[in-house]
Amino acid sequence: MEMVLIEKRAFDEICNHLLALEEKVSKFCCPHEDLALKKWLDNQQVCDIMRISKRTLQVYRDKGLIPFSRIKHKIFYKPEDVEKLMQSNYYPLKPQL
């Protein structure tokens, strides 16, 4: 086994450089939160959340029940719009007599 001795100051500088490098790498690896694009849902996610078919979701779009965004042939929905649709069709339990 070979041992290498370095001064504490040099070791601290190496550690600081490694920490700076780690921060830079983590910035590139992590998605940017400010874009808020990961909040958008695609067709399959909405169908899974609402437990409906893709055809039913298409009918909701055609009737204007749910807003959406289309990029080429891919359709996206805002989670708050999906929740709004669910809340607007909520029927609370009626008190039993």
Q: Which residue has the tokens 């009737």?
A: 63
Residue 28: predicted pLDDT: 75
Report the candidate in 52, 87, 89, 84 with the shortest Cα–Cα distance to residue 68: 84
Question: How far is the C-alpha of 85 from the C-alpha of 78, rounded, in Å?
Answer: 11
15-53 per-position pLDDT tens digit:
999 999 888 887 777 655 545 567 899 999 999 999 999
Q: How many helices (H) and strands (E) does the chain have?
A: 4, 3
Structure tokens of 39?
Answer: 């909040």
Domains of the chain by residue range: 35-88
Topology at the third CATH level for domain 35-88: Arc Repressor Mutant, subunit A (1.10.10)
Residue 42: predicted pLDDT: 93
Q: Which residue has the tokens 């609402």?
A: 50
- The helix or strand, by DSSP H or E, that contains position 76, with its residue range, turns out to be strand 74-77
